[in-house]
Structure 1
Amino acid sequence: MGILRLTSFMDENPQILKEFQLHDTKLVIDGKNLLHLIFEGSKINKKRGGDYDRFACEIVKFFSILKACNIKPYVLFDGGDDPSDRKFNTKLRGLRERLEKAMRISSGQSKKNNVMPILAYDTFKSVLFEINVPFNVCDFEADEEIAILANEFNCPVLSLDSDFYILPINAGYIPFNSVCLEPQEGKRWNNSVYHYLPARIYYVDSFATCFHALGRNVLPLIALLLGNDYVDREIFYPFFSSLRFCKYEQQFNIPDFFPKMRKLISWLNSLDTYDEGIQKILSSACTSEDKETILSAINITEKAYTLDNKSLSTEKILQISNNGLTIPSWVLNFHREGRLPSELIKILQSRRNFLKPQIEDITSPSSYQCCARLRKYVYCILLSEDVGNAGVQSSLDNGTEANGKCAVEEYDRKGYELVKKVVCPIKNAKIFDMLPKLSEIHTLLPTVREKTVRLALDIPLFNIFHLSKDLEFILGIVLFWKKNAQPNATENHLRSVLVCLIMLKLTSIVRRGSTGHEQNLIDDAVLGMPVKARKQINMRLLMFSHIRDDRLDSNLIHGFAQLQACFKTAMDLNFLLLCPFPTPCIYQIFSGTFLYNFVVELWKRRNPDMFVCELLSKNSDLPKVYEILYSAVMNSLL
């Protein structure tokens, strides 16, 4: 959600907010907002497909700053789509805008545009789990639950969303851009020292009391008339056309380029009651149909921005998907705990999957095409009750048209355009019988669920000593990518991926030391080296983690975009099956700048394998580990 121009208005009127020292408190954080703000505010490279290792460090750094000020964060994320489907066009518009940005970046036409990497959210949640920051995923949009939780805790909200200027949050709303993330030192009355973050805080009454007659009733009127994601602003065009500029108290600074806001503030100050305002808005309707639309908008807005008698202790209900079937309770619970991707809930609700465009070669097929077959397994399990009831049998690969209950609309790139494709997850009887139904997954043995992942990815028996299950899963995904990439992922792409795995493990141990949980052949090789040798090799590898050239070869980066699509789909399948394989930490697997620079370097080398072995030092076991992993993948392609 978001209210048009309200943030700009508040920026022009800083007197509405108050200076504030943020410390020694609980703090409810808008997770989606924070994810974007940390990503946008960091200095990491944003055009190589995702430096997740550095992004993870930025996340840890942020929460370390909060801890230094004794701030206890609680993070809430958006979940499923609004069941009314009112935001469908908004989502499509956002997807098209993302595609345009990605195209400009990949073609070298833009230095300012950024595109959030598709595994950033998974990285964020993974880091929160690791550093024990409590978080939950809401059933739908998080704004209302954020406000309710903050009121239950009697603590502020941290976000950068104009909705929080309207929602009645008792302990205040802190705009993220008002916070200085450099802790300051203060002293209490007894001379004890505390640390705080300088910030500015907003209280609804500081704004509402400026409208003496209306008080807090002014808030939903502002949300309604300025427009939000649930309301078509054009319906109020006749209303604003009927308003005339009048004199109003100059308690606000409203620039000339905000004529709509000037009219609105003047009109609001002229009202005696909320009902009077509603009647005047309704009287501007040109037709009875417009009047019904306005009434609907009023009801939606009042409901969205009123928290009276709402509590998180009330049982949440998200039992019905759009086709009328019940979503199993275990699915809802795992989703709320962040252990089941929201994309899966959205597919259950709406039978749609929005595939976020990546920075890739626009002249090649979409990076998601290489894992289309894998997504069919995900759809088939998600819609298993529908599929079974339909009684339709066809080839997994060839698929036939099915009724709407058994199909998923995929929105993906085709060339320069966003297109819809209806994907039928129906499969032949043999494969269908091997896949679990959604309602029974939580009752199955881990071995049964693991077998399903192996079937979907076609994971072979890797003949590798001391191969942990998480590394086996990663190799299975890499092999799937190598088999299915279109255009093909080159051997230099594969070499870069395997060296990146080694580099990130080496960097982790050099910086943080052994965790005591190391359990595979990469760990053995790194821990078996002298500390000095580790650091030397790490320094050589890290040279490829820095930007060398702003130019971008979209052909090279396309292979890694396909790998990310494979990781995303395979991890979603693993989550859906309750993680029979340990969930990989993306920031320990994928570093976009390193991968891009390294594959560029390999193309310059006459003997890439010799270069890799020399880089990893012939005096360590790392070259041997690299050769084992490389051979395991290549031999499985035969």
Structure 2
Amino acid sequence: MGIRGLTTFIQNRSHLYLENYELHDTNLVVDGNSIACQLYKWHTSTHDCFGGDYDKFSKTVNDFYDLLAQCNITPHVIFDGGYEKRKVNTVISRMKNKIKSSNLLNSVTETSISVFPLFIRIVFEDVTRERKVNKVRCDFEGDTDIANIASALNCPVLSFDSDYFIFDTLYIPFSTFDMTIKRGKTANKNVYKYICCKIYKVENFLKSFEGLQKTSLPILAVLLGNDYVKRGVFTMFYKNLKIQKCHGNQSDQQKRIKSLLIWLQNETIESALQKVLSRYKKTKRTIILYKIEKAIKGYNCFNSKYMKYLGIDLNIKNKVKIEIDLDKVNNSIEIDDEDEEIPYEEDSSSEEEIFITPNEPDLNLPMEFLQNFRTCIYPPCFMDILVYNQYYCIPQVENNTSNHSHNISFDILSAIYKILTGKTNSLICICRITAYQVGKVKIPPCEVNLPKYEEIKTLNKENKYEYFENVLKIDKNYKKCLNNFPESWHLLLITINYYLNKSNTNWCIVYSIILSKLILSYVDEKIGFFYRSSKIFLKKHSQSRITSKLTYHKPDNVKSALEYINKDDCVNCLKKLIYYFEMDDKMIRNPKIFDRALVHSISEFQSCLLHVDYLNTLLGFPLRSISIAECLNCTFVYNFTKNLNKRSNLDEYVELLLKDSPSILDSFCLIINKVKEFTITEVAMQPMGRKRRKKKTVKEICEEMEHLNIESDNEVELDPNNKFTLLRIC
């Protein structure tokens, strides 16, 4: 949920509320959604403006789990599920902000603007799964269950969410979490490893405000505003609250937090509610009280239903359950219905949005769906589609004068909706509809014959693949193409085929994606990810060209070629290509060089890859799932595509570039030729190099303008012999 300003309030007084803590030899409950973002933001050196470097982020996540393992810390990762109705306004507001940030993001502004790439949470989940870490996905928001599970285990929560200052649980803010290992000694002089951090205990917070009760803290959260009740509702209350001064130049929100805490020192939960609600007429009091009660119950500790998915069989002990005597609150309020009530302020939502009763969904869902969802097989969006008939398109860096990047995947989304719900009506997509606006778009119903959700488990792999094939309109011959490749390539190649048929692109970006896959899956395996930096790599391999000592036999098929890739060729390959993983210095200084249209194409490909993977998952994996971290580095794809767009003959250029890495060159050539052989699309079969355009004469331009009914500047006469006119027209 999040409580605006509370994190800053605590940090400004960290010496009072946060204790130095050595984290080791313990359980740790990890807020998966929050930590994925924090690890990406603070510990991954990547270029957001190109769409995300998932190999780098995967390395960061692995480093995080290595750190925990070395300190004998057992993580239990909890992920959020679908959005709750009460979150819709917040979600849309965040989408708008992300769209604004995406429009402003370029090669210069990326140092101050961050836009999380499409796949960061999926990569975090992939690494969590590969490392066999305990994990579970909640049906909806997981804050309460995270606190409950941590209470049951009597261990801290690692997150960066201000709600955990209200929960009665140990909490480690990620901003205090040092991603390095320290060493300490026990009383017996045994050495142990630990992570240095700071821990929050609610008891320390209460000590600073004598008389403040633990059960009153949720009232603080509600009055400051959260997803249940907007702060603007309590305008009348704030007009009668004595505002306290804060040291330094503190914001109004900081003063408001301090004022509320001092006021709550002398109030019980019932008396506080009585004074707040007394400012309202009876017609609105009941609705507001109901919403406040719902918000307060969200901070209660109880035994979470998700514990069994983590193998936890414990009960929460010695926890205070927050209960409100509603009758006592209502009966003690005296207010004349004719009294003037000052309207709420500071909120852009309508009265209907603020006072509407939460519409909690009745989860009468198939047990098989819930099992797959809670064990993190299904993505969170499946819950939104199934329960609310809605899908939220995650904003990406795009060209905002074009259709949003997920428009290319609507056919796949329509099929997913039909399988999940069995309905033939339209799925509602929440997405960018203009340069800066978010709106609803109805996706046309899917006309492909598809199985019902309950029927999927009865299908064999071949039947599942046929449905998969039909949705993506894959030519039957394309399956012959896939037979030439290892299974780890199949989903990527199918996505490329779909992308070529749906987008206005050329072969340059396809070459780059395939080469990215070769490097991340095969070159990295031979020489390690450590050498992604050109300085570090060249320092180690600064000697002259390496000539492979192995006897090399040129293979005649893709599988053999990939098996023949050797370390020497990998070193030579990266000597040529390592620079493409970095941003050109010229781009850092000049945003005009930044090609937003190319980034838009990369974003479209990412959308295709995401939704093809979703469809594959829903159909029970007719194809092997793809590892994004072993496939996509968007900085490389962007830079290499820009380079290829300058070439008149792509194949000749690649041969020249990789001539010192024959095993990689042969693998690449075999792959690209197979893809061309079985890809039947007008876009894909266009000439691959740049077409040199013949310069038009002034006369031709004038005739063209006349044909198109284009009006010229009234001050400039269109004279075919006038060179100045041509300059003005251009």
What TM-score comes out, normalization by structure 1 length? 0.88
- How far did residue 539 of structure 1 move? 3.0
Deviation, 1:50, is 1.2
Aligned to 1:268: 264
Which 10-residue stretch deviates more, 70-79 or 131-140?
131-140
Match of 2:421 in 1: 383
Post-superposition offset of 1:26: 0.8
Amino acid at match of 1:243: L
- The answer to whether the 8 A contact 2:562-2:667 is kept is no
Contact 1:103 1:362 in 2 (8 A): yes
Query: Based on CA coordinates, which of the two structures has the bigger radius of gyration?
Result: 2
CA 1:196–1:253: 2 relative to 1, 3 Å? farther
Cα deviation per residue 1:450-502 (whole Å; 9 max; x = unaligned)? Answer: 221122123323346642233122111101101101xx111111111121121
Q: 1:464 to 1:23 in 2, by over 3 A?
A: closer
Q: What residue in structure 2 maps to residue 34 of structure 1?
A: 35
CA contact (8 A) 1:209 1:215 kept: no
1:354 deviates by 1.1
**1:530: Cα distance to partner?**
4.0
**Partner in structure 1 of residue 445 of structure 2:** 425
Report the Cα offset of residue 139 of structure 1. Answer: 0.9
1:601 is matched with which residue? 643
Residues 306 and 322 (structure 1), Cα distance of their counterparts in 2 relative to 1, 3 Å cut: closer
- Deviations 1:579-628, CA, capped at 9 Å, x for gaps: 11110001111110000000111122232211212323366233333223
Residue 324 of structure 1 and its aligned partner are, at CA, apart by: 6.7
Q: Deviations over 1:107-134 (max 9, x none)?
A: 9666411111111121111111122222
Alignment of 1:230-629 (within 5 A): 230-245=228-243, 255=250, 257=252, 258-271=254-267, 273-285=268-280, 287-308=281-302, 312=306, 326-384=364-422, 386-387=423-424, 406-416=425-435, 417-427=437-447, 431-432=448-449, 435-459=450-474, 460-463=478-481, 466-485=484-503, 488-511=504-527, 524-548=560-584, 549-550=587-588, 551=591, 552-617=594-659, 620-629=662-671
Say which is worse superposed, 447-456 or 585-594, in terms of deviation: 447-456
| Larger deviation, residues 39-48 vs 211-220 | 211-220
Distance 1:110 1:465 in 2: 42
Matched AA of 2:523: T
Specify the code of the residue in structure 1 equivalent to 2:524.
Answer: S
Q: Structure 2 counterpart of 1:410, which letter? A: C
Shift in Å, 1:245: 4.3
Q: Deviations over 1:310-333 (max 9, x none)?
A: 5645899xxxx9897832111111
- Secondary structure, aligned partner of 1:140: coil
How many Å separate the matches in 1 of 2:650 and 2:151? 59
Q: CA deviation at 1:48?
A: 0.7
Contact in 1 for aligned 2:81/2:137 (Cα 8 Å): yes
CA 1:590 to 1:578, structure 2 compared with 1: closer, same or farther past 3 Å?
same
Query: Aligned partners of 1:444, 1:223: CA distance in 2, in Å?
Result: 50
Q: Per-residue deviation at 1:165?
A: 0.6
Q: Deviations over 1:375-408 (max 9, x none)?
A: 2211111121x33xxxxxxxxxxxxxxxxxx321
- Find the aligned partners of 2:72 and 2:188 in 1 and give their Cα distance: 18
Work out whether residues 149 and 307 of structure 2, in 8 Å CA contact, stay in contact via their aligned partners in 1: no
> Distance in 2 between the 1:72 and 1:597 partners?
40
Q: 2:195 aligns with which of 172, 197, 205?
A: 197
Q: Deviations over 1:286-305 (max 9, x none)?
A: x2233123302321122101
Q: Which amino acid aligns with 1:449?
A: K
Deviation at 1:277, TM superposition (A): 1.5
Report if the CA contact (8 A) 1:465-1:521 is conserved. Answer: no
| CA apart distance, 1:210 | 3.9
Alpha-carbon deviation of 1:637?
1.6
In the TM superposition, what is the alpha-carbon distance from 1:266 to its structure 2 partner? 2.3
Partner of 2:205: 207
Which has the larger displacement, 40-49 or 255-264?
255-264
Partner of 2:93: 93
Task: Quickly say closer, same or farther: Cα 1:57–1:313, change in 2 above 3 A.
Answer: closer
Paired residue secondary structure (2:184): strand
Please name the residue that 1:113 is paired with.
113
Q: Letter of the aligned partner of 2:488 in structure 1?
A: D
Residue 680 of structure 2 corresponds to residue 637 of structure 1: yes
Aligned partners of 1:175, 1:608: CA distance in 2, in Å?
50
- The 8 Å contact of residues 51 and 396 in structure 2, kept in 1 or not, is answered as yes
CA RMSD of aligned residues (A): 2.5
The verdict on how the C-alpha distance between 1:185 and 1:447 changes in structure 2, with shifts beyond 3 A counting, is same
1:105 and 1:111 in contact (8 A); partners too = no
1:358–1:562: structure 2 CA closer, same or farther, 3 Å change rule? same
Q: Percent identity?
A: 28
**CA deviation string 1:30-73 (max 9, x = no partner):** 00110110111122222111101111111111111111211111
1:75 to 2:77 alignment: yes
> Deviations for 1:258-285, whole angstroms, at most 9, x for unmatched residues?
33123212211233x3322221112122
Q: Contact 2:138–2:306 (CA<8 Å) still a contact in 1?
A: no
CA distance in 2, matches of 1:591, 1:122: 15
Deviates more, 1:335-344 or 1:602-611: 602-611
**Count of aligned pairs between the two proteins:** 593
Relative to structure 1, the CA distance from residue 310 to residue 339 in structure 2 (aligned partners, 3 Å threshold; closer, same or farther) is closer
Partner SS state of residue 186, structure 1: strand
How far has the Cα of 1:523 moved from its partner? 6.3
- Where 2:93 maps in the other structure, the secondary structure is helix
Deviation at 1:526, TM superposition (A): 4.5
Q: Which amino acid aligns with 1:374?
A: I
Query: Which residue pairs with 1:394 in the alignment?
Result: none
Does structure 1 conserve the Cα–Cα contact (< 8 Å) formed by 2:243 and 2:256?
no
Stretches of structure 1 that go unaligned for 5 or more consecutive residues are 388-405, 514-519
Q: Structure 1 pair 289/632, CA: closer, same or farther in 2 (3 Å)?
A: farther
Matched letter for residue 16 of structure 1: Y
For 1:523 and 1:36, locate their aligned partners in 2 and report how far apart those are by CA, in whole Å: 37
TM-score, normalized by length of structure 2?
0.77
Q: Which runs of 5+ in 2 are unaligned?
A: 311-358, 530-555, 682-730
Partner SS, residue 372 of structure 1: helix
Cα 1:270–1:461 change in 2 (3 A) is closer
Amino acid at match of 2:29: V
Q: Contact conserved, 1:500 with 1:589, CA < 8 A, in 2? A: yes
Aligned residue for 2:218? 220
Q: Give the superposition deviation at 1:309.
A: 5.8
What secondary structure does 2:429 align onto? Answer: strand
Hey, what's the Cα distance between the residues in 2 that align with 1:615 and 1:442? Answer: 48
- Mapped partners of 1:199, 1:323: distance in 2: 39
1:20 touches 1:200 (CA, 8 Å); kept in 2?
Answer: yes
The 8 Å contact of residues 449 and 577 in structure 1, kept in 2 or not, is answered as yes
Counterpart amino acid of residue 166 in structure 1: I
8 A contact 2:516–2:636 mirrored in 1: yes
How is 1:14-25 mapped onto 2 (pairs within 5 angstroms)? 14=14, 15-25=16-26
Aligned to 1:516: none
Please, which moves more after superposition, 98-107 or 458-467? 458-467
The worse-fitting range, judged by mean Cα deviation, of 200-209 and 504-513 is 504-513
* Cα distance in structure 1, aligned partners of 2:396 and 2:502: 18
Offset at residue 538 of structure 1 (A): 2.8
